[in-house]
Amino acid sequence: MAKLFIDGETGTTGLGIRSRLAALPEIELITLSESARKDTAARLDAMRRSDLTVLCLPDEAAREAVSMAAGLGGAAPKLLDASTAHRVAQGWIFGFPELSAGQAAAIVSAGRVTNPGCYATGAIALLRPLVDSGLLPPGHDVTINAVSGYSGGGKAMIATHEADGGPAFELYALGLRHKHVPEIMRYGGLTRRPIFVPSVGHFRQGMLVSMPLFIDRLNGAPSAYEVCELFREFYDGALRIRVAPGVNAETLDPEALNGTDRLEIFVCAHGAHIVLVARLDNLGKGASGAALQNIALMLGLPDPLLAQKEFSHA
């Protein structure tokens, strides 16, 4: 049995991981009593006993936990960090196995993996195939719009939306310095900072990430069907990513994938205009579901989706 410790297991992501562990019966979960969860000695002992420690902590606390683990020397466990703290840090592998042909293998052999952000997962899923193919120059002007359920916004946002008369819709991070932008640039392959405009709707979970482009300004001026085929080829064989057939979708429900760990890509076009959309559960492939995928890879366990019929598709 592989031993797993979740440092911060009572947060949204930690609870989501725990609920998914039934899909990995090869794992023994190390838990701490409520009184011991903030006890440094108890946490350090749990790390020492684990094969893999998952950090579901605020950024600064995650950095402190990494330093604690490093102090264990040869007894240190592998680390999977679900915070923003190490997403572009040297020595960490980005936990998006579908990023490139060798990314899953890199995660398997890594001692330190950082889980992607939810918005970044959708944006990178759209950007990377275009940039790698040469259709989208790395310095191209890019605008990314996104809407998420309020569960990804932290305790204050959750409390606001769950109170009577909570807001129906909000734009936020209009200082244009959202914390996911650095990883979107790094792993999306961009050299020019994109305009990223996130928003939150009055629903608990679910996400749409959209990217409008002038298709005739892409290299080679491809057709919308050629762009769709590019995505199909790039994600061929990926269990969690599906490219919708054809082009165009009149409406898209951000909650349609709630409770799953999948991501869907849509190509919508008319004339010179194209809009690419990624749909996912911000708590699934955008957080806990991605963590479970990385946990299985890091511990050398079978992919948990293989046993779940709901995820099988051509």
Q: Helices 118-133 and 181-188: crossing angle, nearest 10°?
A: 30
Predicted confidence at residue 308, as pLDDT, reads 62
**May I ask the CATH architecture of the domain 2-115+287-311?**
3-Layer(aba) Sandwich (3.40)
Every domain of the chain and the residues it spans:
2-115+287-311, 118-282
* Model pLDDT for residues 234-267, shown as the tens digit of each residue: 999 999 999 998 777 789 999 999 999 999 999 9
CB 248 within 8 A of CB 269: yes
Known catalytic membership, residue 118: yes
Dist. CA 6–CA 55, nearest whole Å: 6
> The pTM is what?
0.94
Q: Residue 284: name the closest of 308, 257, 253 by CA.
A: 257
* Model pLDDT for residues 172-204, shown as the tens digit of each residue: 989 988 999 999 999 999 999 999 999 999 999
| Homologous superfamily, domain 118-282 | Dihydrodipicolinate Reductase; domain 2 (3.30.360.10)
Which class for 278: exposed (0-12), middle (13-18), buried (19 or more C-beta within 10 A)?
buried
3 state DSSP class of 132: helix
* Model pLDDT for residues 112-164, shown as the tens digit of each residue: 999 999 999 999 999 999 999 999 999 999 999 999 999 887 778 888 888 87
Q: Which residues pair with 38 in a beta bridge?
A: none
The one catalytic residue in 56, 118, 228, 268 is 118
